[in-house]
Copies of this chain bind each other. A is one copy, B any other.
Amino acid sequence: MGTTQLESVPEPKYWHLRTVLSEALDSEFTVGEILPNERDLAARFGVARATLRQALEQLELEGRLQRRRGVGTTVAPPRVGVAVGTEQHAWPGAEDDVWQPTDCAPAVPPASVADALESGRDESVHIVRRSRVTHGQPVAAELLYIPQSSVPDLSGIDAPSGAARARAVLRELHRLELEGQESAVELGSARADDAKELDRLPGAPVLVVTTRYIAEGRTAALSVATYRADTCRLTFGDSGGVEIHEDPERRAS
């Protein structure tokens, strides 16, 4: 990466620098390589440290760079496509589910979740925690809220807690007939517990996928899944069965 003074341009300086840096990443760096420190980079491009940091933040948002504590800023590998099926109805924990239950405990959910579930605001629900691992890396953490009324015949005797309890709750849930599901994706920041599970700092950008499972005309379960935004792209395939493994957007931007 040579010494390149930025000329005056109509777009913001950090944005122009981001473009120059992006091209340098393509042509001069390899995945996993550590970037020079901020002071050196700022000097080479003739910009203030604040401008440099803004440009690095853009590239981090785009998944081009990763900042890792104790390591520095490295060139990120391409994002991993993670399938988020919406076209087929299936209860959580159905056969071939990629999520692994890790825990289950009764607790009063946030007020907004209680409202969505039409459970009382002080009413305890089953909260199942699950995790999703792709290529050996944790990519997502999920909280699944299941009101007592969705699993009325659940027995508390043989699996009072933990993953076994989670499986027992899901088995009971499967007795209901699933009528539909609705998902939404939005940007969020990682809660402390999710961040720990995903090996990120609290507040890191995440993609939050909320799914409502509809049975008997109401929301029978609500899933809030938190995906690492730095390493994941969420894919929504259809029944066509066309598989394309390339990642055009990542390099197109």
Contacts of A116 in B (CB 8 A): 244, 246, 248
Q: Tell me whether chain A's interface is mostly helix, strand or loop, or mixed.
A: mixed
Tell which of A147-155, A158-166, A235-243 binds the partner: A235-243
The interface on chain A, measured as residues whose beta carbon lies within 8 A of the other chain's beta carbons, has a size of 70
The answer to whether B183 touches A235 (Cβ under 8 A) is yes
The answer to whether A224 touches B205 (Cβ under 8 A) is no
Contacts of A89 in B (CB 8 A): 238
The answer to whether B244 touches A212 (Cβ under 8 A) is yes
The answer to whether A62 touches B189 (Cβ under 8 A) is yes
The answer to whether B110 touches A210 (Cβ under 8 A) is no
Distance in angstroms between the alpha carbons of A229 and B206 in the assembled complex: 11
Query: Is A11 an interface position by the 8 A CB rule?
Result: yes
Q: With A210-B249, A212-B244 as given contacts, are A180 and B239 in contact (CB-CB < 8 Å)?
A: yes
Minimum Cβ distance to chain B for residue A164 (Å): 27
Distance in angstroms between the alpha carbons of A116 and B203 in the assembled complex: 34
Contacts of A233 in B (CB 8 A): 184-186
Contacts of A240 in B (CB 8 A): 179-182, 214
Minimum Cβ distance to chain B for residue A72 (Å): 20
Partner of A224, one of B183, B185, B186, B249: B249
Task: Select from chain B the residue with minimum beta-carbon distance to A87.
Answer: B87
The answer to whether A201 touches B12 (Cβ under 8 A) is yes
Q: With A61-B188, A253-B191 as given contacts, are A238 and B86 in contact (CB-CB < 8 Å)?
A: yes
The answer to whether B79 touches A248 (Cβ under 8 A) is no
Task: Select from chain B the residue with minimum beta-carbon distance to A181.
Answer: B238
Query: Is A76 an interface position by the 8 A CB rule?
Result: no
Distance in angstroms between the alpha carbons of A70 and B193 in the assembled complex: 36
Partner of A86, one of B12, B61, B86, B184: B86
Residues of A whose CB lies within 8 Å of any CB of B are 11-12, 14-15, 18, 54, 57-58, 61-63, 79, 81, 86-87, 89, 109-113, 115-116, 179-189, 191-192, 201-203, 205, 207-208, 210, 212, 214, 219, 222, 224, 229-230, 232-242, 244, 246-253
- Some 13 contacts from A to B, beta carbons below 8 A apart, are A58-B189, A61-B189, A61-B205, A79-B186, A81-B184, A86-B87, A86-B236, A89-B238, A113-B248, A186-B207, A188-B249, A208-B253, A210-B249
